[in-house]
Amino acid sequence: MHIHILGICGTFMGGIAQLAVAAGHKVTGCDANVYPPMSDQLRGAGIELIEGFAADQTALQPDIYVIGNAISRGNPLLEAILDQGLPYVSGPQWLAENVLQGRWVLGVAGTHGKTTTSAMLAWILEDANMAPGFLIGGVPMNFGVSARLGDTPFFVIEADEYDTAFCDKRSKFVHYRPRTVILNNLEFDHADIFSDLAAIETQFHHLVRTLPQSGLIVTNAAESSLERVLQRGCWTPVERFNDPAGYRTSGDDARGELALHGPDGVIGRTRWQLTGEHNRANACAALLAARHVGVPLAQGLDALSRFENVKRRMEVRGMVRGITVYDDFAHHPTAIATTVAGLRRKVGQGRILAVLEPRSNTMKLGTMKAQLPDSLREADTAFCYAANLGWDAREALAPMGARAIVDDDLDRLVDQVALAARPGDHILVMSNGGFGGIHGKLLNALAD
């Protein structure tokens, strides 16, 4: 089958493209911005890429068009497909029908931690010789790729609550029909498509309705929103983590310790590379989900000692003059707060210079601007890139006083960070985009 993918350079759609090639399909695709690293991955897989969405791409005559959720009405190629009555399908539906059907799907849902938890879960199964397929919204360093077809029954997928496509406004995850699902956490996000938290809870309820009685829901006991979801109807066994009387984790970031606790006490301890309470909670969820497919908790815990995290999750991009530059994907106030807190536990009294780009649709709308000062409270200084915002970042960060520096010129912001930094500092860059190549610019400025 020849499929042509609209919006192919996004992480999710690029993953679908690679899975389709591995399954023996001919794949072509187009996007508005065809650029590395995804473009290199796709071309390396033998996929022809086209810049833009010109209507004349219908001359390719694929068997079906797979439409990404970034494609909206008014897109020239989409309008041509609709006018000519050509066959099309959303990315999640194509994935469900052509890759996930008949497999034991392990889905990881939640506002935060989906990518890291999915990567942990896939690695635990890999370390147990279960060779899972996976589709993850990042690149797990243990695997070096974001998607793998696999030839065993097991498939791990990052189950996103964002909408499916222009023609299907349900959350992506309702298509996946998981047998094992992790509900990591749930709070308001995606203000561009959801009116409030209750609207997102409804989508999670729809996900819960798809699980079989023989499945398992691993849920965060500390999240009242998830409890509300389950109270609306649940037909599947439930195990809870972050439960003071049940399954939970503890640890010491400075020593790299991770301990797993169960209802009867400590189950085991290990050393690992990650930091922060959020990552320890992610680990507990992944361990319980892996147990559902046959990996004992102690064996899974041992596997996490060899887990190498995900690119752009507290990834060290370089060190100059004793100053360390990190890259992290955090873009929601809760994720920012937990990321900064995790680094603080690791570096102790060392100075943290947080560099933030409010880039997600929710952040650009300013829905959560009031939460930013508190999310950055453990940083010594915060630098905010304020270009293309519909709200006043200086006003929003004013409660931080002189600890907040705002600029809408990226090069000028880099210079200010470099001037402020001194040996022993930790520069934490947080954005869900490329941030104008700021990591390289910072390292060069520090060297100069």
Listed by start position, the domains of the chain span: 2-93, 102-304, 315-447
Contact 222, 248 (CB under 8 A): no
Q: What are the Cα distances from residue 436, in Å, to 31, 123, 359?
A: 19, 31, 12
> At the topology level of CATH, where does 102-304 sit?
UDP-N-acetylmuramoyl-L-alanine:D-glutamate ligase (3.40.1190)
Give yes or no for residue 191 having a pLDDT over 90: no
Average pLDDT over all residues of the chain: 92
Whole-number Å distance between alpha carbons of 156 and 218? 14
Give yes or no for residue 222 having a pLDDT over 90: yes
Contact 8, 31 (CB under 8 A): yes
Give yes or no for residue 411 having a pLDDT over 70: yes
Q: What are the Cα distances from residue 206, in Å, to 67, 107, 167, 285?
A: 22, 14, 18, 21
Residues 427-448: what's their mean pLDDT?
A: 88
- What pLDDT band is residue 276 in, cutting at 50, 70 and 90? confident
pLDDT tens by residue, 26-66: 999 999 977 667 778 888 889 999 999 999 999 999 999 99
Identify the CA nearest to 356 among candidates 347, 369, 342.
369
Tokens 């309702």 — which residue? 174
pLDDT on residue 253: 84
Q: Give backbone dihedrals phi and psi of 396, rounded to 5 degrees, phi first.
A: -65, -35
Residues 293-313: what's their mean pLDDT?
A: 92
Give yes or no for residue 235 having a pLDDT over 70: yes
The percentage of residues in the chain with a pLDDT greater than 70, rounded to a whole number, is 98
Identify the CA nearest to 183 among candidates 210, 214, 221, 218.
218
Maximum average pLDDT range among 145-159, 328-342, 361-375, 376-390: 145-159
pLDDT on residue 360: 75
Whole-number Å distance between alpha carbons of 83 and 80? 5
Whole-number Å distance between alpha carbons of 12 and 303? 26
Maximum average pLDDT range among 34-43, 82-91, 179-188, 244-253: 82-91
Q: Give backbone dihedrals phi and psi of 247, rounded to 5 degrees, phi first.
A: -85, 130
Q: How many angstroms separate the most distant Cα atoms in the chain?
A: 65
The percent of the chain in helix, strand and coil, each rounded to the nearest 5, is 35, 25, 40
Question: Residue 344: CB partners within 8 Å, gap ≥ 6?
Answer: 352, 378
pLDDT on residue 342: 84
Task: Name which of 144-148, 388-392, 427-431, 439-443 the model is least confident about.
Answer: 388-392
Q: Give backbone dihedrals phi and psi of 62, rounded to 5 degrees, phi first.
A: -70, 165
The tokens of 169 are what?
């406004």
The percentage of residues in the chain with a pLDDT greater than 90, rounded to a whole number, is 72
CATH annotation of 2-93: 3.40.50.720
pLDDT tens by residue, 348-381: 899 999 999 987 766 767 777 888 999 999 999 9
Question: Which residues are bridge partners to 271 per DSSP?
Answer: 257
The tokens of 379 are what?
């940083």
Q: How many CB atoms lie within 10 A of CB 120?
A: 32
Domain 315-447, CATH class in plain words = alpha beta
For helices 277-292 and 333-347, angle between their N-to-C axes, nearest 10 degrees: 110
pLDDT on residue 152: 96
Q: Which amino acid is at 398?
A: A
